[in-house]
Structure 1
Amino acid sequence: MVAVATIHGQGSEERAWEHCDWLWQQPETALADLCAGVCRLVVVAPHPDDEVLACGGLLCAAAGIGLEVQVVAVTDGEACYPGERWWTPQRLRQARREELRDALGALSIDAGAIVHLGIADGGVTDHEAGLEDWLWQTLREDDLVLAPWRFDGHPDHEAAGRAAWRAARAVGCRRLEYPVWGWHWLDPGCAHMAWEQPKLLDISAVAAHKREAIAQFRTQTGDVSRLHAEPILPAHVLTRFYRNHEVYFA
C-alpha cells in the first residue's frame, strides 16, 4: 500500500530516488511522440514555480520547436510565508509574478504566455469547480494539458489536477500529470504501486536552461533579503528537479 501523503521534514532523499531502478528503467518517451498532433502545450500550475520545477525541460524544448505554450498560473503563491513582516502576501504576489515571468524568459517563453487566474493561495479546492469550468471553456482538442498529479499531497495541487483532468476529458484533449511534492513524501520503493506507466522525457539538452529558470524563484530558494522563514525550496528539494529526466503520467 502507498503511504499517506505527508509533507514535512526533508522527505525522501534524492539518492534513494537515484536508486529506484524500476522508475529509471522505464522506456524514454521522445519529445516528438509526446507532442505528436499537438498545437498548444497548456500547463496548469497551482503556484508560480510548479510549472518550471516539474515541466521546465518540456516547456523549453516545446518552445524550441515552435510549439505554442500557455501557462495557467492558478494562484500567485502569496501565502507561502505567513507571519513574515516584510514579505507580506501583497509583496509576495508581485514578486512571484515577476519571478515567473523571468523564469519563463530563461526557457525562451514570452510573458504573454502567462494567464493569471488570481485564485487565493491555499484556496484552490474552494474554487475547483470554477477552475474546471474556465479550463473547459479555454482548452482545445489539439492541446496537451500538463497538470499536477491528483495525489501529489498538497491540496492546491490535487484540486488543480482534478479540475484539469476532468476539463481535458470533457474537451477531448490529451493530458499528462506531473508530480512535485510526490517526490518528497513517496517512498521510492513504493513508486511502482503509485505510478503506472510513467513517461520519462530526456531533458539533458535543455537542463541548463531549466536550472537557470529555477534560480529565478528567489523568494522560494531564500535568495532574498529580509526573509526569516526557512525557504520553501531548500537545496535538498531542488536536487529533485535538477535531473536530466522529467516524469509524467498519462
Structure 2
Amino acid sequence: MDVVERQIDGSGVSEAEWQACAWLQALPERTAETLFAGITRLVVVSPHPDDEVLACGGLMGCAHAAGVPVVVVSVTDGEACYPDHAVWLPQRLREERQRELDRALACLGLANTERHAWHIGDGTVTQHEAEVAARLLALLREDDLVLAPWMLDAHPDHEAVGRACARAASHRGCARLEFPVWGWHWVDPQQAARLWSPALRFQLSPNMQQRKHAAIHQFATQTGAAPGLDGDPILPEAVLQRFQRDYEVLLG
C-alpha cells in the first residue's frame, strides 16, 4: 500500500489531536509478556540513535526485565542532523550520538546489552539497503522478534531500514513488527485505522515510563539541550510528547 504526499513538514499533528483519536484510544491492549512469548531475543533495528528509544524504549526495558536478551542495531550514527553547523560537525555528532544512546540504554537497564553500530552514512541508507538486509540476515535467528521502522515513515532512512528488515526477517523466518516515528508527525489521525491496521497498544508501568522519559532526555543533541546548539532542535517538545505516553504502539 502506498500513501500519497507523505512528508515531514512543519509542527505536524499535535499530541492533543492524537489523544482525541478514537482509533488510538480503542486499540487492543496487549502485555509485554504476550509480546515476548516464544521468542529468545528482541532485535531492535534503528535508522538513527534515538529512534529505538523514542518508539519502543519501554518495551526494550520490559524485555530486559523479563529476561529476554535485547539486541540493538544502529544503522547510521545520525551525524547529518545539523548540516553546516559550525560547532556540531558530523564527526562530533557521530561520536556524541553513540554516547547518548549508551546513556539512554543505561536508563532502561540495558547498559550491557548487545549493540551493533554499522556507521552507514546518515541520509544514504537507500543506497545501502541491500547491504543492510544482508547484514541483518546474518545477525537474525528464527526465534527472534524484530522491531523495525514503519516502511512508510516518510524519512528515507527509516523506509529503507524498514524494507531491509522486512526482507531479512522474511528470509530468516522470524517475527517482525513495525514502529512509527515520523508517522505520528504527518499521518492524519482520521486515516490511522486504514494506514496502521493491525496495530497493538502496550501499556507501560509508571516506573518504565519514568525510565523511558529519562532515556529520551539523554539525546541532548536532538532535544536542543547540548551546548552550542542554536535554532530549532530536531525533537522539540511538541514532538517529544508523542513518545512520552504511558503506552507504545506496534504495527503488524
TM-score calculated relative to the size of structure 1: 0.98
Amino acid at match of 2:77: D
Distance 1:165 1:68 in 2: 21
Displacement of 1:3 in angstroms is 4.8
Counterpart in 2 of 1:34? 35
Counterpart in 1 of 2:201? 200
In structure 2, stretches of 5+ residues that fail to align are none
Distance 2:127 2:136 in 1: 16
Displacement of 1:112 in angstroms is 4.6
After the TM superposition, which segments of 4 or more aligned residues of structure 1 sit over 4 Å from their partners?
none
- 1:81 matched to 2:73? The reply is no
- 1:24 matched to 2:25? The reply is yes
Distance 1:3 1:181 in 2: 15
Distance 1:88 1:101 in 2: 20
SS of 1:57's equivalent? Answer: helix
Counterpart in 2 of 1:234? 236
Listed one character per residue, the Cα deviations across residues 5-62 of structure 1 (whole Å, up to 9, x for unaligned) are: 1111100011000011112212101112111111100000000000000010100111
Displacement of 1:113 in angstroms is 1.8
CA contact (8 A) 1:77 1:92 kept: yes
Identity %: 52
Aligned-pair RMSD on alpha carbons? 1.1
**Pairs within 5 Å for 1:1-250:** 3-205=4-206, 206-250=208-252
How many residue pairs were aligned?
A: 250
TM-score calculated relative to the size of structure 2: 0.97
Displacement of 1:204 in angstroms is 3.1
Listed one character per residue, the Cα deviations across residues 69-126 of structure 1 (whole Å, up to 9, x for unaligned) are: 0100000000100010110001000100100000000000025521000000001000
Distance 2:36 2:185 in 1: 28
Distance 2:227 2:111 in 1: 28
Distance 2:202 2:113 in 1: 26
> Which deviates the most, 106-115 or 123-132?
106-115
Listed one character per residue, the Cα deviations across residues 144-180 of structure 1 (whole Å, up to 9, x for unaligned) are: 0000000001000000000001100110111000000
CA contact (8 A) 2:72 2:113 kept: no
Distance 2:49 2:231 in 1: 19
In structure 1, stretches of 5+ residues that fail to align are none
